[in-house]
């Protein structure tokens, strides 16, 4: 079913994946999709990702998910500011996203067999 997606992201459902929040691991082997408000929609792994050791794969998923989540929450922050309010200290900032992106970019997937 091909649904028309609203141009205004505030009109998106809390359960629809918003492509603006899609985040791909630098290896291209992990994709995390989030919904409005930061809810995780899905995680997709390539077959190649399954050759990664469990700890490294888990860390890669977490780092990728963190960036996707922060993208979604920064949209909420923008809505709070646009409404004339001041976000609380718990609401992530663009700097939080920058730090998360740096951590993600530094992450490498390691194969279980030791071949990179």
* pLDDT tops 90 at residue 30: yes
Separation between Cα atoms, residue 47 and residue 18, nearest integer Å: 24
Separation between Cα atoms, residue 96 and residue 98, nearest integer Å: 5
By the 10 Å C-beta count (0-12 exposed, 13-18 middle, 19+ buried), 13 is classed as exposed
The pTM of the whole model exceeds 0.75: yes
In this prediction, residues 28-35 reach a mean pLDDT of 97
**pLDDT score recorded for residue 1:** 39
Beta-strand runs (E) in the chain: 23-24, 30-34, 40-45
Give the long-range contacts of residues 41-44, CB within 8 A, separation 24 or more. Answer: 41/15, 41/16, 41/17, 42/17
pLDDT in tens, 53-88: 999 999 999 999 999 999 999 999 999 999 999 999
């Amino acid at each position: 079913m091909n649904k028309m997606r609203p141009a205004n992201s505030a009109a998106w459902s809390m359960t629809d994946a918003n492509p603006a929040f899609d985040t791909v691991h630098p290896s291209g082997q992990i994709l995390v999709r989030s919904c409005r408000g930061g809810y995780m929609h899905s995680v997709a792994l390539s077959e190649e990702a399954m050759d990664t050791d469990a700890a490294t794969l888990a860390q890669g998923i977490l780092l990728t998910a963190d960036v996707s989540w922060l993208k979604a929450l920064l949209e909420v922050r923008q809505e709070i500011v646009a409404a004339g309010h001041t976000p609380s200290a718990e609401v992530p900032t663009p700097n939080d996203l920058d730090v998360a992106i740096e951590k993600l970019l530094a992450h490498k997937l390691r194969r279980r067999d030791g071949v990179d």
